Structure 1
Amino acid sequence: MSRSSSNSRSTTGISWLPEIPSHWSIEKFRYLFDESTEKNGPSPVGTMLSVSGYRGVEVKEYDDEGRRRTAEEVEDYRVVRKGQLAVNTMWLNYAGLGVSEYEGHVSPAYRAYWVSPRLHGRYANYLLRCTAYVDGYTALLTGIRPNSLQMSRNDLMGFPVIVPPMSDQLRIADFLDRETAKIDALIAKQEQLIATLHEDRIATITHAVTRGLDPSAELEATGSDVLDAIPPGWNLVSLRRVLIRIDQGVSPQASSELADLGWGVLKAGCVNGGKFEEREHKKLDADFDIDPAIVVRSGDLLVNRASGSPELVGSAAIVGELHYSLILSDKIFRLVLNDRADTHFLGWVLNCRVYRDQVKQHISGAEGLANNLPSSSLRGFRIPLPGIREQRQIADFISARTGEIDRLIKKCDSSVGLLREYRAALISDAVTGKIDVREMV
C-alpha cells in the first residue's frame, strides 16, 4: 500500500482534516445534501431502521416483539429512502449517521437527506463515518449531558465535505469495500473463537462443580430435575442450607460520576460473567449517612437481583481488591455463608449452567417479575455440595483453568481491537487521500 503518489497536496485550513490531493475539493454540507421532510403517515414506509456506530444504517432488531411499534405510533416517524443519508444529530460523536441501503423509517429525532449526484453514496458513507469526521462533529457538539450532546443545524449545514472526482470516489469505495470485508472476516473469526472460549469456560465450571475432579467416580442419581446425578458423598441442597443471611442495599440519589473522593453505590452491572467490576457504581452525596451493615468488602459474594437485561439477573461474583468505598444497592444481594460452604466454590456454582437454568426458569415464568430475582426464590435454588475440603480443591482447579481461558479471551479481544483500529485508520486514510488507491489492484 502506498501513500498518495501525487506530490501536489493542499492544506484544508481545518484543524481536524489533513492535507488532501490538490485536485480534490471541499464543499459545505448544504450544497451536497438536501433535507427530506417526508414522514410515514398512516401507512409506514418499509421497516424500522437504526444507526450502528460500527455498521451504519441497519434494520432495527427487537429482543422482544412486544416492543415493536404499531403503525399508529410511527405515523410521525421520518422516512428514509434507499440512498438517503440518515443522521442522528445527538449521536454524531458515535458515528450516528450513514447512507442507507434500505427503505424504511427512523425516529423523528433523526434527519434524512438526499445525496447530491456529485457524491457517490458508498464513498459518502465511508467519508462521513470515518474517525476524522467523528472528531470534527465532536468538536461542534453542544449540551450538558454526555448522551444528549447535539450538533446544531447551522453547524451541520456548514460542515466541510471532501469531494474527490467521481472516478476517485468509485475507486476509494471499491477499495474499502474489498479491504474492510477482509478485515471484517478476520474479526468475525476472532469473535467466534471468543464465543467458543466463553462456552468452554462455562462448560469447565459446570463439569467441575457438578461432577468433581475424579473422572472415574461413579455418579449417584439425585431424583431431581435440577441435576440428575452427583458424585458419591455429595448432596443436592437448597441454597438456604449454606446461608446465614442475605444482605440487600438501598437506592439513594447518586450522580453518574465515580466516587474517587467519597462513597459510591453499586450499579446492577457490577457483577457480570462471574466478574466484579468496582467501577460500575454511582457517586453518593457527601451528606449521605453510610450504614456499616451494607458496606462492600473484599471477599463478598454478590448476586445481581434486578436488571433491565434478563441475562444479568442472577449474575454472581466475588469482590476482589477494592479501590473505592462502596455500599450495596437495592439491586445487589450479598450472600453471607455458614461453614458448610466455601465462598469461592459457591461463587463458581453460581456461574454454572445448573444455577443459570434455575434463574432463567424463574425470571421467564414469573409474570410481572421478568427482570427480578426475589431472595425467596434464590434461597430455594438447588446446588451441588461436596465436603468443604473438596470444595476448595475444586475452586482452586477452576481458578487455574479459567485463568488460562481468560488469558486467551483477552488475547483475542486485543486482536479484535487492533483490527478495528486498523480498519478505522484505513478508511480515514483512503477517504482523505492520505493513501492513493488508484494504484491498488
Structure 2
Amino acid sequence: MALENIESWTGRAIETASTFEGEGVAFKKGDILFGKLRPYLAKVHLTETDGEAVGDLWALRHQKHVDPCFAAYQLLEPGFIDRVNGSTTGAKMPRAEWGFVGSIKVPTPPLEEQTAIAIFLDRETARIDGLIKKKGRFIELLKEKRAALITHAVTKGIDAGVPMKDSGQDWLGQIPEHWDTVPPTALFTESKERAHEGDQMLSATQKYGVIPLEEFEALEQRQVTMAVTNLDKRKHTEIGDFVISMRSMDGGLERARAVGSVRSSYSVLRCGPEVEGRFFGYLLKSSLYIQALRLTTSFIRDGQDMNFSHFRKVKLPRVPVDEQIRIADHIDRETARIDGLVAKTDRSIELLKEKRSTLITAAVTGKIDVRNAA
C-alpha cells in the first residue's frame, strides 16, 4: 500500500476555555491529548468522553477526512515523535511549539484505509500490550519470590528439619532452636570517627548501597548537590560498615562498598566478630526488619532523624558465623538465578515495545498493506 497524499498533520490545536486555575485544557470526545512538555515521553491519548485535563497538553481535533484513531497512531509514530522532540526549546523543561508540530508532513491515505489501519493496529497493539502486561506481572512475582526467599532464609535459616523455638520478638517469630536474639550492640558498635583528610564523599543509596557520590551520579546519569558546610563533621566509613540514614525507614540499612565519608546526620555501624557482612546485609534490608525498624520511630509526628538509638531497640538474631556464610551463599545463588530471569524478561519486554513501535511506523507510513488483515 503506498500512501501518496503527503500533507501537514491533519488536525489543529484547539484553544479551549478551562475551569482549572493555571494550565489546563478542556476537550471533547474524539480529541487527542498530546503532551508538549518532554514530547519524547510520547504522551498521546485519544479521549472517549468530554472532559478537562491538567498539564502541558494540546487538545488536538481531527478534521473530517481523518480517522481520529489513525491520527492518534500517527502522533505515536517514533519518527514523528523524534521530529517533535528535536524541535523543542528549553534545556530543563523542553517544550514543543504548535507552529512547528502542526506543519510536519505526514502520509494521509483515504479515510477508509485510515480506518483499516487503525483497526489493524488496535488489534495488534492490544495483543502486544497484553503480552507486556503478562511479562510485567511475571517480573512482579519473581521480585516477590526473591524478597520472600531472603526474608525466610535470614529469619528461619535454610535447614528445613531444624527444631524451632519462639524468638520472643514479634518481627522474628519462630527461629531455629540454636539461634539466640541479642541487642544490636552485641553485634555492632557505633562509629563516630570523623572524616579523614582526602576522604571521598559517599552517597548512601537504597539501590546501590553506600558508594562514591561520583559513581552514583554516573549510574543515575544526574548530578547531586554536594554538601559545602560542616564537612569537618562528616563521618568516616570503611568498606563493610553499615549506614543508617533517613531512607532506612523505607529500605533498611545500607552497606558501604567503598572507603570515604558520609553525612554527619547518618549513623555508621562497625561489624563485630560474630557478623558476616553479606548475611546481615540481607537481614537489615529484609521486609520484616524494615517493619520492625519503623515501629521504633514516630518522626512523622516530631521530625526526628533515624539514628543509632532506633537501631538498638530492635533485637537481632545471633547466628553461628559458619551458618551465616552458608545462608548468604544460598541467597547469593538463588537471587542470582531470579535476577537472571528478571533481566531476561525485561529484555523481552523491550523487544516487544520495539516491535510495537516498528509495527505502528510500518502501518501509518504505508510500508505494509493491512487492509485485508484488518
TM-score by length of structure 2 reads: 0.83
| 1:127-155 residue CA offsets vs partner (Å, 9 max, x unmatched) | 1022111111111011122xx01112322
- SS of 1:190's partner is helix
**Partner AA of 1:23 in structure 2:** E
- SS of 1:380's partner is coil
Q: Hey, what's the Cα distance between the residues in 2 that align with 1:440 and 1:304? A: 58
**Partner AA of 2:112 in structure 1:** S
1:113 is aligned to 2:92? no
User: What displacement does 1:178 show?
Assistant: 0.8
User: What displacement does 1:233 show?
Assistant: 2.4
**Partner AA of 1:440 in structure 2:** A
1:226 is aligned to 2:171? yes
Structure 2 residue aligned with 1:70: none
- SS of 1:168's partner is helix
User: What displacement does 1:326 show?
Assistant: 7.1
Map 1:236-251 onto structure 2 (within 5 A). Answer: 236-245=181-190
Q: Hey, what's the Cα distance between the residues in 2 that align with 1:393 and 1:416? A: 35
The 1:334/1:417 distance shift into structure 2, 3 A limit, reads farther
Structure 2 residue aligned with 1:183, among 105, 108, 128?
128
Structure 2 residue aligned with 1:86: 33
Query: Is this contact kept in 2: 1:249–1:332, CA < 8 A?
Result: no
The 1:206/1:424 distance shift into structure 2, 3 A limit, reads same
Structure 1 residue aligned with 2:84: 137
Gaps of 5+ in 2: none
Gaps of 5+ in 1: 1-5, 7-20, 42-73, 251-262
Structure 1 residue aligned with 2:149, among 175, 179, 204?
204
- SS of 1:36's partner is coil
Query: Is this contact kept in 2: 1:355–1:383, CA < 8 A?
Result: no
Query: Is this contact kept in 2: 1:76–1:108, CA < 8 A?
Result: yes
Q: Hey, what's the Cα distance between the residues in 2 that align with 1:315 and 1:351? A: 4
**Partner AA of 2:145 in structure 1:** D
Structure 2 residue aligned with 1:435: 368
- SS of 2:134's partner is helix
The 1:370/1:286 distance shift into structure 2, 3 A limit, reads closer
Q: Which has the higher helix share?
A: 2
1:384 is aligned to 2:329? no
Query: Is this contact kept in 2: 1:26–1:161, CA < 8 A?
Result: yes
Structure 1 residue aligned with 2:251: 314
Structure 2 residue aligned with 1:77: 24
- SS of 1:437's partner is coil
| 1:333-392 residue CA offsets vs partner (Å, 9 max, x unmatched) | 6533222322111111023231132245567x6534799744432332333221222212
Query: Is this contact kept in 2: 1:299–1:319, CA < 8 A?
Result: yes
The 1:376/1:172 distance shift into structure 2, 3 A limit, reads farther
Size of the alignment, in residue pairs? 365
Structure 2 residue aligned with 1:126: 73
The 1:306/1:83 distance shift into structure 2, 3 A limit, reads same
User: What displacement does 1:295 show?
Assistant: 6.4
Structure 2 residue aligned with 1:407: 340
Structure 2 residue aligned with 1:417: 350
Query: Is this contact kept in 2: 1:39–1:75, CA < 8 A?
Result: no
Query: Is this contact kept in 2: 1:99–1:124, CA < 8 A?
Result: no
| 1:155-195 residue CA offsets vs partner (Å, 9 max, x unmatched) | 23323343221111111111111111111121122112111
- SS of 1:355's partner is helix
| 1:214-258 residue CA offsets vs partner (Å, 9 max, x unmatched) | 2111111123222222112212234344222267999xxxxxxxx
**Partner AA of 2:67 in structure 1:** H
**Partner AA of 2:207 in structure 1:** N
The 1:237/1:106 distance shift into structure 2, 3 A limit, reads farther
Query: Is this contact kept in 1: 2:16–2:27, CA < 8 A?
Result: no
Q: Hey, what's the Cα distance between the residues in 2 that align with 1:353 and 1:396? A: 20
Structure 2 residue aligned with 1:12: none
The 1:318/1:286 distance shift into structure 2, 3 A limit, reads closer
Q: Hey, what's the Cα distance between the residues in 1 that align with 2:210 and 2:72? A: 38
**Partner AA of 2:272 in structure 1:** N
1:35 is aligned to 2:29? no
The 1:109/1:347 distance shift into structure 2, 3 A limit, reads same
1:169 is aligned to 2:148? no
- SS of 1:347's partner is helix
Identity of aligned residues (%): 27
Q: Hey, what's the Cα distance between the residues in 1 that align with 2:304 and 2:207? A: 15
105-114 or 133-142, which deviates more: 105-114
Map 1:346-361 onto structure 2 (within 5 A). Answer: 346-359=280-293, 361=295
Q: Hey, what's the Cα distance between the residues in 1 that align with 2:303 and 2:114? A: 50
Structure 1 residue aligned with 2:207: 272
The 1:121/1:282 distance shift into structure 2, 3 A limit, reads same
User: What displacement does 1:123 show?
Assistant: 1.0
The 1:170/1:407 distance shift into structure 2, 3 A limit, reads same
Q: Hey, what's the Cα distance between the residues in 1 that align with 2:126 and 2:321? A: 53
**Partner AA of 2:43 in structure 1:** G
- SS of 1:335's partner is strand
